[in-house]
Structure 1
Amino acid sequence: MPYKTIKAEIASMGGLISELREKAQHFNRPLTAKESALCADAELKINELRMELPANEPLTLQGPGGGSPRAISGGSNTGGFESVGEIMQALYRRSKGEGMDPRLEPLQVRAGINETVPSQGGFAVPEQLIYKAFTEDLQDTVLLQLCDKVTMTSDKLGVPIFGDDSHSTSAPFGITWDQIPESGTFGDFQSVPFKKLQLHAYKSGALFSASNEWLSDADPAMRARLENIFQASLRWYVESKLWNGTGAGQALGALNGDGALEIPKETGQTADTIMTENIVKMWARLRPGSHNRAIWAANPTTFHMLATLAVSIGTGGSVVSLLQPSGIAGAPATSILGRPLYLSEHLPALGDAGDICLLDPMLYVLGDRKQITVDASPHIRFQYDETAFRVQSRFDGQPALSSVLTPANGDTCAWLVKIAAR
């Protein structure tokens, strides 16, 4: 059968299945026996047609050498789905015995090819929908929004990092320059300090359930609501690990890395306070070259303290507030010393070390495996008329720098500066 004819037949069969399901949903009823049989026949026909497609065609069921079935993970498009919520509804219908949505077939991660646990499969969320989860509506994140993101195509990735932790004995990156006489030599070769930042695609997961009444609702608004819930919970978890992860089987949080610098509180400073001197000293200890990219991040409990900080101007006794409108497009409304202030619940509360920090977010590296799988079961929450979902994701994150910088002159400085506990 010609290639275009096969594709047209697959589209026609898929349209028939969608039409039958939409009709049943419109009348708020399950598929009839006849409709279920028609769907099953159409799905069988689709799989037969897909076996005839070339091995390099995204919809094929052939392996690279032809003939043997293969599983296809999420690609660069949406797989025909408008949202994660629509995928969840398709999995719900599958779990209720209403047949497999043909759009799910290319996303299936079959048992036996899972990288670490052969017994666990699922359906890979298409890459474009993962991208949406990590880029759209990011007001609830800071590091996830602003850090340096790298794509992991395997479970491990070495990111090259050039060491630069001392300017007191050599120039940046260990390359020392000098004046050379006309007939002089360039001296000895110098080795550039180099290391690999080793990222591991650590597996995270969640089990949750949703009302079958919700899942059976074909309203696009309900699908959008399901997607928003999924995205918000995933972003919240990732953001939490990027700040507070221990590094043991999970991301190493920005607040816990050895490259962060903690400055002492002021002599006689009252507990649970922030002083102007704290802020000014934090700014002075940020790594050179990072000030133009720097952001402030603070727990919301610090805001009442920050809003009252001021700097005296001249001898007349006038003062200027440290907290100012940011004037930066797309940034928060407020700024400190010209850099935007982000409020995040993931930072410690007022008085604890790290309740406010100054950092260069591009010096934190997020390794994203871009591999999210989801599957559904009608059995676990059967008595509550709910469908259970199992979701897995893989990512890692680490500060790019593991030590503070000793400058040619002055105090040590770092990519992230925080105040000690008060």
Structure 2
Amino acid sequence: MALRQLMLSKKIEQRKAALAELLEQENGLNTRSAELEAAIDEAKDDEEIAAVEEAVSKLDADKTELAEKKGTLEGEIAALEGELEQLNSAAPSNQSRSTKNHDNEREANAMNRLQVRELLKSGEYYKRSEVTEFYEQFKNLRSVAGGELTIPEIVVNRIMDIMGDFTTLYPLVDKIQVKGTTRILVDSDTTAATWIEQSGAIPQGDVGTITNVDFDGFKVGKVTFVDNYLLQDSIINLDAYVTKKIARAIAKALDKAIVSGTGAANKQPAGVVPAIPAGNQVNIEADADLLKNLVKQIGLIDTGEDSVGEIVAVMKRQTYYNRLVEYSIQVDSNGNVVGKLPNLKNPDLLGLRVVFNNNLPADQVLFGDFQQYTLVERESITIDSSTHVKFSEDQTAFRGKGRFDGKPVKPAAFALVTITPEV
């Protein structure tokens, strides 16, 4: 590797290390924010309120400064990686054309979603050869009988990145990218490590803790119609329209599958709710003890026998407003608010993050550590077309297709609570 490339690699490494430190600082700021929230509730006189107010102002300033530093570092990393990529692609080589094409494809596949986001900000995304070539082929696809086009990885990453705008559960689950049918060995042994002598043998977990979890690749697709005039428009407009259409359709399908998918029998991922053990499914009454009885069910997951990740409460928006939002509002005898107001932008349940998902029925709350749900993403998304369905309306039908599978690898990491009318 040339000296310039080595220098760029070193700079990228240093900036990524600095970015990791900023992320640690961000975690500290989040902790301070939670502590200040508690301090606000506990403040009793003007002096205490003034002290908390000063701390809040300092926290806001620190958050702003941190956000600016993060933005600067992320921009520098994207720029350096872009420069390094250009140097690598321009480097002389004795490789054949087919080998070079393979290397270019591998570099594109290595581009993560954060990099794609930075390329979009700078406008470089629309100048990349794989993007321009894809949309040129996309425009001509309707003239190819039976043609099917594989979406390049950089566009796939853009689709998967903006899926978060249309889904609530996809960002929470554990995601892996694989090829073909996959068998994953999951060690379900959660016992503690064993202290032994220096020369002793480390004992293995209980026999039978290895579980085979098979994943297939079920197809999910969406047909969308594009006015033919848009096909002649700029690549920017076409990309925005097509990627959002595909992302929205796949996101909604995945969210529903994660909650209630019926599995291989119906050629779809297995959902969380059908897999929850009977002992983790509870009914409680909507009486004066609703909140207390509801949060007690978290103990079904967090038993103290094993460390768990973040537990979130998933529910229909209607359930939160009808049943739980009132517990965040405290008023005195005159109706004046004296307690914490609900944060409707970032709702919580006694500090536990609430995630809205309308695939759950009303009056059901799903508690869970969603890192215990594994979603398998196939490596490619394809698209094909038809000009016949809406020929008279001068529209072309495009069908985006992806392959996914998923299932809860630890069903006991979830609990379903159904709120029933008070008797």
How far apart are the structure 1 equivalents of 2:204 and 2:235? 72
Equivalent residue, structure 2, for 1:48: none
Which residue pairs with 2:359 in the alignment? Answer: 346
Which residue of 1 is the match for residue 180 of structure 2? Answer: 155
Question: Which of 228, 241, 262 pairs up with 1:246?
Answer: 262
The within-5 A match list for 1:245-394 is 245-247=261-263, 248=265, 249-259=267-277, 261-266=280-285, 269=286, 275-288=290-303, 289=306, 293-304=310-321, 305-309=323-327, 325=343, 333-348=346-361, 350-351=362-363, 355-394=364-403
SS of alignment partner, residue 240 of structure 1 = helix
Matches of 1:196 and 1:321, distance apart in 2 = 50
Which residue of structure 1 aligns with residue 414 of structure 2? 416
Q: Which has the larger radius of gyration?
A: 1
Q: Which residue of 2 aligns with 1:409?
A: none
Partner of 1:57, secondary structure, is: helix
Are the counterparts in 2 of residues 205 and 390 from structure 1 also a CA contact under 8 Å? yes
Could you tell me which residue of structure 2 aligns to residue 93 of structure 1?
140
**3-state SS in 2 of match to 1:231:** helix
Alignment of 1:12-411 (within 5 A): 53-58=96-101, 75-76=109-110, 80-82=129-131, 87=134, 90-96=137-143, 122-136=148-162, 138-152=164-178, 154-164=179-189, 172-173=190-191, 190-191=206-207, 193-218=209-234, 220-247=236-263, 248=265, 249-259=267-277, 261-266=280-285, 269=286, 275-288=290-303, 289=306, 293-304=310-321, 305-309=323-327, 325=343, 333-348=346-361, 350-351=362-363, 355-402=364-411, 404=412
| Structure 2 segments unaligned to the other structure (5+ residues) | 1-94, 112-124, 331-336
2-structure distance, mates of 1:371, 1:191: 38
Counterparts of 2:327 and 2:209, CA distance in 1: 42
More helix by percentage: 2
CA distance, structure 1, for counterparts of residue 96 and residue 386 of structure 2: 31
Assess, with a 3 A threshold, how the Cα gap between structure 1 residues 320 and 136 changes in structure 2: closer, same or farther: farther
Asked whether the 8 Å contact 2:158–2:243 carries over to 1, the reply is no
CA displacement 1:365-421 (0-9 Å, x = unmatched): 00111211112232332122111112221110100114x3xxxxxxxxxx1111136
Q: What per-residue deviation string (whole Å, max 9, x for no partner) do you get for residues 275-319 of structure 1?
A: 21342222222234566511111111112221012699xxxxxx9
Secondary structure of 2:407's partner?
Answer: strand
Q: Distance in 2 between matches of 1:296 and 1:134?
A: 24
Aligned equivalents of 1:274, 1:299: Cα separation in 2: 21
Q: Does the C-alpha gap of structure 1 residues 302 and 88 become closer, same or farther in structure 2, counting only changes over 3 Å?
A: farther
2:205 and 2:249 mapped to 1: Cα distance? 52
Distance 2:290 2:299 in 1: 15
Contact 1:309 1:321 (8 Å CA) reproduced: no
Checking the alignment, whether the CA contact within 8 Å between 2:151 and 2:383 is kept in structure 1 is yes
Going from structure 1 to structure 2, the CA distance change for 1:360 and 1:388 (only over 3 Å counts) comes to same
Cα–Cα, structure 1 residues 123 and 420, in superposed 2: closer, same or farther, change >3 Å?
A: same
* 8 Å contact kept, 1:276–1:311: no
SS in 2 for 1:146: coil
Q: Structure 2: how far apart are the matches of 1:307 and 1:400?
A: 32
Post-superposition offset of 1:228:
1.7
The residue identity in structure 1 corresponding to 2:271 is G
- In structure 2, relative to structure 1, the CA distance for the partners of 1:176 and 1:290 (3 Å cut) is closer
SS at match of 1:58: helix
TM value normalised by structure 1? 0.59
Letter matched to residue 80 of structure 1: S
C-alpha distance in structure 2 between counterparts of 1:274 and 1:88, whole Å: 58
Amino acid at match of 2:100: E
Letter in structure 1 aligned against 2:291: T
Amino acid at match of 1:383: S
Deviation at 1:53, TM superposition (A): 4.3
Give the secondary structure class of the aligned counterpart of 1:309. Answer: helix
**Residues 265, 420 of structure 1: 8 Å contact kept:** yes
The offset of 1:120, in angstroms, is 7.2
Aligned letter for 1:254? V
Relative to structure 1, the CA distance from residue 128 to residue 339 in structure 2 (aligned partners, 3 Å threshold; closer, same or farther) is farther
1:134–1:144 Cα contact (<8 Å) kept? no
**Which amino acid in structure 1 is aligned with residue 212 of structure 2?**
K
* Partner AA of 2:294 in structure 1: I
How many residue pairs get aligned? The number is 296
Cα 1:219/1:163, change in 2 over 3 Å? closer
Query: % of aligned pairs identical?
Result: 20
Cα deviation, residue 223, structure 1: 3.2
- Please give the per-residue CA displacement for 1:232-259, whole angstroms capped at 9, x wherever unaligned: 1221112221112101221001122145
In structure 2, C-alpha distance between the alignment counterparts of 1:128 and 1:296, rounded to whole Å: 33
Q: Is the 8 A contact 2:276 2:416 kept in 1?
A: no
C-alpha displacement at 1:227, in angstroms? 2.1
Q: Residues 308 and 321 of structure 1 are in contact (CA less than 8 Å); yes or no, is this contact kept in structure 2?
A: no
